[in-house]
Chains A and B, each alone.
Chain A
Amino acid sequence: MISNKIFKNVILAIAVSFLLSACATQKKMDSQMQGDVYTGTDTVEYLASGVPDRVFFATNESVLTTASRDTLRKQAAWLRKNPKINVVLEGHADERGTREYNLALGERRANSAKDYLMTYGISSNRISVISYGKERPVDSGSNPLAWSKNRRSVTVKAN
């Protein structure tokens, strides 16, 4: 009888710990996404200290979020301080779309980043744009978090 009770408690404890860990995963995912835009830093690299190299987009969108605009202003400031550096903006899409449309979408995303840099005084001569569509994901996962990391425009030094 007693052993039975202990057994039940053990089961309960295991079940609770499962629930908790499931919650933890869920929370981790939530904290890295707002809507379906990636807000984490896992894949982000830095052009200089405090200057993130990439911005993220919602599904099928090329509109810049508040956080993206903040990142791009930092990039613009860094580019103004380093007038000899040119950049390539690489636009990407996630894997949940047809290849050709995604090529166009990647181009549109990179261009919305380019337009924003230009409004902050960076000459279009210093910026080139390339779309990779869905061809170069950073995260090979097949889940919403991986897709959110892949919907991006990355600013890369060209020289």
Chain B
Amino acid sequence: MIRKVFIKLFFTFLLFTEANSVIEVDITRGNLNPLPVAVSPLFSDENTNKKLKNNFEIIQLGEKISEVVENNLKTTGLFNPIEKKAFLQKPDVAHLKPRFEDWALIKSQALVTGQIKLENEKLRVEFRLWDVLAGKEILALAFTTVPKNWRRVGHIISDKIYERLTGEKGYFDTRIIYVAEQGPKTKRIKKLAIMDQDGFNTKYLTLGNELVLTPRFNPTNQMVTYLSYFKNLPRVYLLDIETGIQEVVGDFPGMTFAPRFSPDGKKIIMSFAKDGNSEIFTMDLETRLVERITNHPSIDTSPSYSPDGKYITFNSDRSGFQQIYTMKSDGTNVKRISFGKGLYGTPVWSPRGDLIAFTKLHKGKFYIGVMRTDGKGERLLTENYYQEAPSWSPNGRVLIFYRETKTDDKGEGFSARLWSIDLTGYNERQISTETDGSDPSWSSLLTN
């Protein structure tokens, strides 16, 4: 009798948890079982289809947006979008009230539905995220935009889904600025290029007349800082992506390089080289006030602020070789933090504040790795012939960097490409770019 009650209780409990289970995706470790998700095409009625075709030359927009979402979710390595051919329910019906048995049958655990409608030349988008096993809606959102922004619609939807299922902000409605490369290694032509995080909408921001390197986003707006050899004077520049207006940063009697913004976007921190010595300086963009941060006869470069702006990590060879250091943002309290075997460069503070990503050279191999801000807990994520310059996704979960190939005996076969890898060390991917690419920098989320 007691036993029967116990079994009954146990069963009820199971049912209870089952019914209330909210899908969760753990992003703290490599995910070997990506969550099966069905992304239904967004429904649009005949009238909307006709207007989109006639007024904007866009067809099948509902499908296209769902494909952007599928691709984003897939590249995280956390989700496994199910082929649309398997779907049993039509988009409009599913969006109103999914038949959960149908979606469970094709093994999907999450379902995304939506619809789009043209109203006064504006695109009204609504979407819903459903927990298939629990049989309920877990997220619903509607927003309005211009039709030509349709890829961003897909990115915004992806960010909302990612955030709902992982508990952390997404990184899809973002852009990458990088250096597009062409031509032989000895006469490489380099241009600034910008694209959506998924490789679409590439635009070139310079013509390739002068060498450009190391572009970096302002975390608070659409400004970029980079190194240009304009008139053969290597100097740090500031570029407004929206207006195309650029200006040289400060008035230094020598090369300025390795620029980055402070987290509040108000300062640029960079190296200034003179008489064989590179030191770290900051310049306030409003007051134009220049401040010297380091003072040491060795090379001090590649500075990067902690997200609270209180600390700086940088690269120095004051120990005799390239190593990673931290200091307070006024330049005091300098501490070496890299002590492993090999050389360390390009430290970048994580937007979450707890880690520093770096490039390491050891025994002829290059590694991208992370360590805690005190230098402990070093973890190498990827090894290759040549790779460097990691840049964090705004949520601090993914690193983008570039990788170069070895040339053959004739000095041919060189290429430089952009790659990304999860903080877990899993999910390494090449990012498609129209040309070769290097020095990638990830923007903040365009919408919050």
Binding site for B on A (CB under 8 A): 60, 62, 95-101, 103-105, 107-108, 110-112, 115, 129-132, 135-142, 146
Q: Known contacts A60-B321, A131-B273; is A100 also within 8 Å of B214 by CB?
A: yes
Interface contact tally, CB-CB below 8 A: 106
- Among the 9-residue stretches B16-24, B181-189, B191-199, the one with 4 or more Cβ atoms under 8 Å from chain A is B181-189
Chain B residues whose C-beta falls within 8 Å of the C-beta of A111 in the assembled complex: 275-276
Q: Given A96-B361, A98-B389, 4 other A-B contacts at CB below 8 A? A: A99-B213, A99-B388, A100-B214, A110-B276
Report the Cα distance A129→B275, complex, angstroms: 9
Q: Which of B188, B278, B343 contacts A104 (CB 8 A)?
A: B278
Q: Known contacts A97-B361, A98-B346; is A104 also within 8 Å of B273 by CB?
A: yes
Is B130 engaged at the interface, CB distance under 8 Å to the other chain? Answer: no
Is B271 engaged at the interface, CB distance under 8 Å to the other chain? Answer: yes
Report the Cα distance A100→B255, complex, angstroms: 12
Docked-complex contact B271 and A100, CB < 8 angstroms = yes
Q: A-side binding surface: helix, strand, loop or mixed?
A: mixed
What are the 8 tightest A-B residue pairs by CB atom distance, in nearest-first order?
Answer: A111-B276, A98-B345, A140-B411, A140-B185, A104-B278, A142-B406, A104-B299, A100-B258
Number of interface residues of B (CB under 8 A): 46
**14 A-B residue pairings within 8 Å (CB atoms):** A62-B276, A97-B345, A98-B315, A98-B322, A98-B345, A101-B301, A101-B302, A101-B345, A103-B257, A104-B299, A130-B232, A137-B185, A138-B186, A142-B407
Chain A residues whose C-beta falls within 8 Å of the C-beta of B412 in the assembled complex: 140
Chain A residues whose C-beta falls within 8 Å of the C-beta of B361 in the assembled complex: 96-98
Report the Cα distance A135→B276, complex, angstroms: 18
CB distance from B181 to the nearest CB of A (A): 11
Residues of B191-240 contacting chain A, CB below 8 A: 211, 213-214, 227, 232, 234
Chain B residues whose C-beta falls within 8 Å of the C-beta of A107 in the assembled complex: 255, 273, 276, 278
Chain A residues whose C-beta falls within 8 Å of the C-beta of B276 in the assembled complex: 62, 107-108, 110-112, 115
Report the Cα distance A104→B299, complex, angstroms: 7
Docked-complex contact A141 and B278, CB < 8 angstroms = no
- Encoded as 1 (CB less than 8 Å from any A CB) or 0, chain B from 301 to 335 comes to 11000000000000101000110000000000000
Chain B residues whose C-beta falls within 8 Å of the C-beta of A60 in the assembled complex: 317, 321-322
Report the Cα distance A111→B188, complex, angstroms: 25
Chain B residues whose C-beta falls within 8 Å of the C-beta of A108 in the assembled complex: 273, 276-278, 299
CB distance from B190 to the nearest CB of A (A): 8
Chain B residues whose C-beta falls within 8 Å of the C-beta of A98 in the assembled complex: 302, 315, 322, 345-346, 359, 361, 388-389
Report the Cα distance A140→B415, complex, angstroms: 12
Docked-complex contact A101 and B411, CB < 8 angstroms = no
Docked-complex contact B213 and A135, CB < 8 angstroms = yes
Chain A residues whose C-beta falls within 8 Å of the C-beta of B273 in the assembled complex: 103-104, 107-108, 131
Chain A residues whose C-beta falls within 8 Å of the C-beta of B406 in the assembled complex: 142
User: Which of B187, B273, B361, B386 lies at the interface centre, i.e. has the most chain A CB atoms within 10 A of its CB?
Assistant: B273
Chain B residues whose C-beta falls within 8 Å of the C-beta of A129 in the assembled complex: 254
CB distance from B216 to the nearest CB of A (A): 11
B277 and chain A: residue at smallest CB distance: A108
Report the Cα distance A141→B409, complex, angstroms: 7
Q: Known contacts A103-B258, A130-B232; is A141 also within 8 Å of B299 by CB?
A: no
CB distance from A7 to the nearest CB of B (A): 30
